[in-house]
Amino acid sequence: MQEQQQQHHHQQLPQLTTNHQSSTTVTSLRSPSSATATSLCSPLHISSHRQPLLPPPVAVVLPSGEPISTAPLNFELARVRLSDIGPYDGAPAGTYVRAMETLCSSLLKYNAALIELGSEDTALMRCGLEGARLFFRSRAHLGVGKGSRGVYMYRAGRALEDWDSSPPCMADIFRCMGKASRVALSAIARHLRLRSDVFNQLLDDAPLPANEVSSSVLVGTYSHASLQNGKGAIGGGKPTVNGEVEKGLLTLISSDTPGLQVCDPNGRWYLADSGSGPGDLLLITGRALSHATAGLHPAASYRASPDCFTSPNSGGRTSLAYRLMPQGNAILDCSPIAAAGHVIAQSYVPISVSQFMDDLAAEELIGSRCDNDDVAQSNVNKDPSLRSVLSDPLSVVSDLHENDTANAY
């Protein structure tokens, strides 16, 4: 009987292939065809979804006792077309159902998914990335003004600024990525057996009322070794051992060079945007959505890959990240989740977004103080490679609440 259980356990593990010329383990995930769609996790059984245990990665122990992976994996994330998950009138077609399940299955298994834009939106994103790259490089050369530190934040509804003080196409990209984020949010809602518009009461009105500034924000960043030295943390983010945790509902990221690692539910870091282009948006979910879904969609942890800074041939990395944020006066309530038949823990009580963000800020402040104490105690470590990993900026998307998001509430 014990042998049968062991055989059954081994059958549940995914196939892992090892490259003998490299220490990095690679596993492949292909988007399911119509023939395999039924094998995905059903939305009717999401509350009982369990992931198989995977072998632990090669790891070392930091001076603080915190394990850190030395060989991030390279997963091929599931990819869905934005046009396939958009809401529409009429009965759900097979294409919509398969794309919705593929998207949410990838989020549950890997804490991330890829959304493929159409040709027009891809051209816009490519133009925006190229323009942002030129903007940041010129600002870094001058060393003054907005963007000189490699980060620029755009909110819709703010007073117009001089064209030469912001990257081009920011307003168009804000609308493009904002639409994509709402489509992704509606697909997540349907997968939880909710109305596709159930989270709309948390969001800004579309379009915005007159004289109102958006809660969501578009962040352009440029990461390069020349900006890293002497300019502090890129984008205002603070280096931490475990990376950054997204705080909003969800974030979409487009970049011109791979370099963002995401932590999967088993605690393994992997390069999430390998093989993606300007027309691919990396989707990760945040703490606000985790609370609104009673933990059914946990928040993702992410960090910049050290390779994008340490490679001698690296020309830098430009990224555009759209953070879909709830309104400060909205209420995060799990009542729709309970009404859909999901089991909710008692800790998920209704809470205002402003209070929720204040609590997250307090938690982060306590955590940063603990990290500073640990780093101070570990300064005796003279290993330059480990020290460089600890000092690298871990957030290419930037920790917005430090300088900007906290002021929005």
Model-wide pTM > 0.85 = no
Confidence label for 165 from pLDDT (cuts 50, 70 and 90): confident
**146 Cα distance to chain centroid:** 25
Range with lowest mean pLDDT among 245-254, 300-309, 352-361: 300-309
Radius of gyration of the chain (CA): 21
Q: How far apart are CA 53 and CA 159, in angstroms?
A: 51
- pLDDT of residue 13 exceeding 90: no
Q: What is the DSSP string of 56-84?
A: PPPEEE-TTS-EEESS-BEE---EEEHHH
Query: Mean of the per-residue pLDDT values for the chain?
Result: 75
Q: What is the pLDDT of residues 38-50, one digit of tens each?
A: 443 444 343 434 4
Q: What is the pLDDT of residues 385-402, one digit of tens each?
A: 333 333 333 333 444 433
Q: How far apart are CA 129 and CA 273, in angstroms?
A: 15
Range with lowest mean pLDDT among 56-70, 204-218, 366-380: 56-70
| pLDDT score at 390 | 31
Q: What is the pLDDT of residues 268-279, one digit of tens each?
A: 999 999 888 889
**351 Cα distance to chain centroid:** 23
In sequence order, the β-bridge partners of residue 323 are 217, 251
Q: Output b/e per residue, 175-202; b: 16+ Cβ within 10 A.
A: ebbbebbbbbbbbbbbbbbbebebbeeb
DSSP 8-state class, residue 347: T
| pLDDT score at 102 | 97
Q: How far apart are CA 81 and CA 83, in angstroms?
A: 5
Q: Reading across the β-sheet that carries 317-324, which strands appear in turn? A: 79-81, 113-116, 280-285, 250-255, 317-324, 217-223, 151-154
More confident residue, 151 or 144: 151
Residues in the chain: 409
- Cβ atoms within 10 Å, residue 9: 11
Q: Which residues contact 221 (CB under 8 A, 6 or more apart)?
A: 136, 150, 151, 152, 234, 235, 318, 319, 321, 396, 397, 398
Burial of 295: CB neighbours in 10 Å, binned 0-12, 13-18, 19+: middle
Q: How far is CA 215 from CA 168, 263, 408, in A?
A: 21, 26, 7
| Among the listed residues 113, 126, 79, the one whose alpha carbon sits nearest the alpha carbon of residue 185 | 113
Amino acid identity, position 110: Y
More confident residue, 189 or 60: 189
Strand 301-304 and strand 260-263: the pairing is antiparallel
| pLDDT score at 309 | 56
| pLDDT score at 367 | 66
More confident residue, 158 or 70: 158
Percent of the chain with pLDDT over 70: 61
Helix residue ranges per DSSP H, 143-278: 170-191, 225-228
Q: How far apart are CA 325 and CA 353, in angstroms?
A: 10
| Among the listed residues 223, 306, 310, 300, the one whose alpha carbon sits nearest the alpha carbon of residue 268 | 300
Confidence label for 166 from pLDDT (cuts 50, 70 and 90): confident
**What's the whole-number mean pLDDT along residues 28-35?**
42
**What's the whole-number mean pLDDT along residues 121-138?**
94
Domains of the chain (ranges, CATH numbers): 73-408 (2.60.120.330)
Q: What is the pLDDT of residues 237-252, one digit of tens each?
A: 444 556 889 999 999 9
| pLDDT score at 233 | 29
Per-range mean pLDDT, top range of 9-18, 74-83, 384-393: 74-83
Contact criterion met (CB below 8 Å) for 395 and 304? yes
Q: How far is CA 338 from CA 185, 294, 343, 345, in A?
A: 18, 9, 6, 10
Q: How far apart are CA 149 and CA 3, in angstroms?
A: 59
Q: What is the pLDDT of residues 177-216, one digit of tens each?
A: 999 999 999 999 999 999 999 999 999 999 999 989 999 9
Q: How far apart are CA 404 and CA 86, in angstroms?
A: 31
Place of tokens 């982060």: 364
Q: Which residues contact 196 (CB under 8 A, 6 or more apart)?
A: 87, 186, 187, 189, 190
| pLDDT score at 110 | 96
| pLDDT score at 123 | 97
| pLDDT score at 82 | 98
